[in-house]
Amino acid sequence: MSAPLLMICASFLFATMGVCVKLASDTYGPGEIVMYRGLVGMMGIALLARARGVSLRTRVPMMHAWRSIVGVTALTLWFYAIGHMPLATAVTLNYMSSVWMALFLIGGAVVVGAQRVDPRLVTTVLVGFVGVAMVLQPSVDRDQLVPGLVGLGSGMLSALAYLQVTTLGRVGEPELRVVFYFSIGGFLTGLVMSLIQGWHVHHTLFGFVLLLATGVTATTAQVAMTRAYAIGRPLSNASLQYLGIAFSFVYGIVLFHDPLTWAAVGGMVLIVGAGLAASRLRATTLAVTAPDTIQPPSDT
């Protein structure tokens, strides 16, 4: 399968995962959903790694632990936002990760005393946050302000998790190993949260199917996206990744009757444009020392 087709499939599957999470949120808390998503992912990746002959033993356990803490926190916040907001709004806020990374680059340049900060990066950050304001203003009621901020925080933490995945790749950790330890972290974190908050011992068939579908769609999407980045062009893949917002938008209107406003659509367009510009500028910035360093993001 070609890289563009793999990316389209991955974006569709991540959007479908969002639907499963939103439906499951009527019955289960974020901790339980994260736990079962991690369990399914852990088992699926272990089987895939064995089939491919990839060892899951690591020399850098603390790096995986830190990546899991940040990534699982981002995932939990995102699942909470999906359960309390229009689907496309929650997904769009999480996709702000590229804009957050541009902001991190600007902050890093200021800290090290760079004489000049790339004004194009500043512009992408400003455009991205204008898009956020447009998306939230018509879409978020007063009682949804907290979920909106939570969704924005999930995007920021996803950016940090992305940078950690890049670092793990540079020290030689294969993608399957990274996803495996992230899944373990999700399972353990979700287990602790479920023990504290209480969990469902008796499942309905529909609830069980939703939890299973969440894990299967997320894990399959991660594998497809990883493969696409391995064989395709990074910037093309990054562009197709934003189809997830479009798929989520359609899902939200058809399944959940989410309101359609031109301000929200315009905000999404600005966020997508800012994200694509930030990805391109980041790739240009890093090309001198590490060409094609854009890595496949996970669902965190």
Tens of pLDDT along 32-46? 999 999 999 999 999
DSSP run (H or E) holding 74 = helix 61-84
Higher pLDDT, 113 or 86: 86
Instruction: Evaluate if residue 290 carries a pLDDT over 50.
Output: no
Q: Residue 175: what pLDDT?
A: 83
| Half-sphere exposure at residue 183, Cβ-oriented, CA atoms within 13 angstroms | 24
State which residues form the domain around 48: 3-286
Asked if residue 296 is part of any domain, the answer here is no
Distance CA 241, CA 232 (A): 13
Asked if residue 248 is part of any domain, the answer here is yes
Per-residue pLDDT of 66-99, as tens digits, reads 999 999 999 999 999 999 888 988 898 888 877 8
Q: How many domains does the chain have?
A: 1
Distance CA 176, CA 182 (A): 10
Mean pLDDT of the chain: 83
Instruction: Evaluate if residue 289 carries a pLDDT over 60.
Output: no
Asked if residue 298 is part of any domain, the answer here is no
Q: At what angle do helices 87-94 and 262-286 cross, to 10 degrees?
A: 20
Asked if residue 135 is part of any domain, the answer here is yes
Q: Residue 140: what pLDDT?
A: 53
Which of 3-17, 174-188, 193-207 has the weakest average pLDDT?
193-207
Q: Residue 114: what pLDDT?
A: 61
Q: Residue 234: what pLDDT?
A: 66
Higher pLDDT, 62 or 202: 62
Q: Residue 115: what pLDDT?
A: 57
Asked if residue 210 is part of any domain, the answer here is yes
Which amino acid belongs to residue 64? H
Instruction: Evaluate if residue 192 carries a pLDDT over 50.
Output: yes
pTM: 0.84
Higher pLDDT, 272 or 184: 184
Distance CA 166, CA 67 (A): 10
Q: Identify the band that residue 236 occupies on the pLDDT scale cut at 50, 70 and 90.
A: confident
Asked if residue 140 is part of any domain, the answer here is yes
Per-residue pLDDT of 142-173, as tens digits, reads 667 788 889 999 989 988 887 888 788 888 88
Asked if residue 299 is part of any domain, the answer here is no
Per-residue pLDDT of 213-228, as tens digits, reads 999 999 998 888 877 8
Asked if residue 300 is part of any domain, the answer here is no
Q: Residue 112: what pLDDT?
A: 66
